[in-house]
Amino acid sequence: MLPDLNRLKVFYHVYSLQSMNMAAKNLHLTQPGVSQHIKKLEVEIKTDLFIRRHKKIIPTRAADQLFDMVKPFIETIDSKIKNISRPMNQPYGLLRIGAPLEFGKTYFPAICHAFREKYNQVTFKIKLEEPDRLLDMLNMGLLDFVVIDYFSAKDQFFGRPEHCQIDLLTEEIFVLASSKEYFENKMKKKTSFEMLVSMDFITDEHEPVILKHWFWHYFKKSIPSVNIIMAIESHQALLNCVRLGMGLAITAEHLIWNEIETGEIIPIFPTKKKVINKISLVQLRDKKPTLTEETFQAFLKKQIKAKKIPRKPA
């Protein structure tokens, strides 16, 4: 049997504010009334939620777990109620979108800004993460849809969910990047398999999946244990390491176009067949998109096509 929903709402406010007095003011209740709601909820779920110490309350581990369950529900309901009286024939409300870190950071601010100039009742919550994590969040209902990347050579799709609709948005070229100094002095301008696997590498992945894929694409060989001298979460920091001549790293060609043209960074292509990374829009097939989702997705596709994203920097 579900706990009383009103008590869960009271609990949400008490936990969020870490105060029964403040929760009482927000909810226009008395402090004893709030305290009574919490006590009854503790009886319902058969566990203590707060430790009372003088005027302070300390959440228990059970409270932490309950809050993690209640928070998405309460906040989603709150958002929907605020917009329930709005017209049904125009986009409104919150869009929860996932995207790869660099792609999302580079292009989503401008795209979302342009969309809000047309539909200012729409707000965004953007999650920038690795593809496998984004797909997990999509399957759990924490995101409305995601933009993810995967590789065309093996049609790799992280976690490939069975019930997803996948629409290609655009493509980018992955390159193994080196500073000019590193390429000339350390590599002696050689790009053989033996030379490359003996070099130093920088990665922004937990596991060097893209690096392994790059080697397989060009040499049809599984790489042995390569010398990863730095694993760093920021891709910009990774590129700075390449610029400093610390080693080699996988990146998207369009992120370093200017430096390729000036010769500061050397893109390594052992053969003419380049590694293509597909950027696709993914949503659950059995979920009917809202008007807001459909409108933004159409706008996103139009923006990517019109602006030729990923584009060459000016």
pLDDT tens digits, one per residue of 240-256 = 999 999 999 999 999 99
For the entire predicted model, the pTM comes to 0.66
pLDDT at 85 over 80: no
pLDDT at 173 over 80: yes
CATH number of 5-83: 1.10.10.10
CATH number of 172-276: 3.40.190.10
Q: Which pLDDT tens digit goes with each residue over 262-308?
A: 999 999 999 888 888 889 999 998 888 999 999 999 999 999 998 88
Q: What is the β-pairing status of strands 227-231 and 93-99?
A: unpaired
Q: Which pLDDT tens digit goes with each residue over 200-219?
A: 999 988 778 889 889 999 99
Residue type at 106 in one-letter notation? T
Distance (Å, whole) CA 10 – CA 92: 28
Q: What is the β-pairing status of strands 145-151 and 275-284?
A: antiparallel
Question: For residue 169, what are the CA distances in angstroms to 91, 97, 147, 250?
Answer: 22, 15, 9, 21
* Average pLDDT score over residue span 128-143: 87
Which CATH fold topology does 93-170+278-306 show? D-Maltodextrin-Binding Protein; domain 2 (3.40.190)
* Average pLDDT score over residue span 166-173: 90
Distance (Å, whole) CA 244 – CA 186: 13
Domain(s) of CATH 3.40.190.10: residues in the chain:
93-170+278-306, 172-276
CA atoms lying within 13 Å on the CB side of residue 1: 6
176 in helix, strand or coil? Answer: strand
pLDDT score for 158: 47
